[in-house]
């Protein structure tokens, strides 16, 4: 573990950004942090540099991404179908199966050195879920979990009614994280009909807009979510 603990976290709002561009961006930050940790281990404690943390929020044009443990058969479109839907497709290096990203969705990529917080990947996932659950509660919506499945669900205790509102998929190396979560706020849910989301074929997908019956303010939702992440992780957030 690093001798120097740093909870200072840089907040980066990338707005609507191409998936590949965002993937390259977070990969660069991830690789730099891992490299710094490796260098630190060669040094005395007094000479070690604190590792940085980043909280990236953004959204993407229509895109389907398949995790390393996923099955491409869960994508129900061929190349022509992707073109017709103006969507792209990537096989990526996170956990999990297939998911969709698109406009009106809040995508979070925390690039954290968990040595600065806690070294427990399950706790990390649960706190990401909790931030979304608390955000839903701000809108009087009861979100929760389903045992054995990641993500945040509505009516998860009723198998015939359970619907996912936030998907999770992460990668970590030397306790540094990348990838993250996708929270459906104003998302066009029709795009989920072209996949078997996360490889689960018996559960529906929903959005905050659908649950509320009206359009929430996306920026307000993002701000509430960010504040819950700050409280749960104890971030000291900087925005410069």
Catalytic residues, by residue number, are 198
Is residue 226 a contact partner of residue 55, using CB atoms and an 8 Å limit?
Answer: yes
Q: Are 153 and 164 in contact (CB under 8 A)?
A: yes
| C-alpha span between 74 and 92 (Å, rounded) | 15
Residues 82 and 203: their CA atoms lie apart, in Å, by: 23
Farthest CA pair distance, the chain: 57
The tokens of 170 are what? 């992460």
Question: Which of 175, 240, 185 has its CA nearest to residue 5?
Answer: 175
């Amino acid at each position: 573990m690093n001798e120097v603990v740093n909870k200072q976290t840089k907040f980066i709002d990338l707005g609507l950004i191409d998936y590949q561009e965002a993937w390259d961006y977070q990969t660069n930050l991830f690789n730099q942090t891992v490299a710094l940790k490796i260098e630190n281990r060669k040094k005395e404690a007094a000479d070690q540099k604190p590792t940085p943390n980043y909280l990236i929020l953004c959204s993407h044009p229509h895109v389907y991404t398949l995790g390393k443990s996923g099955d491409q058969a869960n994508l129900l479109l061929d190349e022509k179908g992707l073109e017709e839907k103006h969507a792209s497709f990537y096989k990526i290096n996170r956990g999990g199966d297939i998911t969709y990203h698109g406009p009106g969705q809040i995508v979070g990529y925390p690039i954290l050195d968990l040595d600065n917080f806690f070294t427990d990947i399950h706790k990390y996932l649960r706190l990401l879920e909790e931030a979304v659950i608390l955000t839903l509660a701000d809108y009087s919506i009861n979100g929760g979990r389903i045992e054995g499945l990641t993500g945040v669900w509505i009516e998860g205790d009723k198998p015939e009614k359970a619907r996912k509102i936030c998907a999770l998929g992460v990668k970590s190396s030397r306790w540094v994280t990348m990838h993250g979560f996708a929270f459906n706020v104003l998302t066009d849910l029709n795009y989920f009909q072209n996949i078997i989301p996360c490889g689960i074929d018996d559960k529906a997908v929903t959005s905050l807009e659908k649950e509320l019956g009206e359009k929430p303010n996306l920026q307000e939702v993002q701000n509430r979510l960010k504040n819950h992440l700050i409280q749960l992780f104890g971030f000291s957030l900087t925005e410069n």
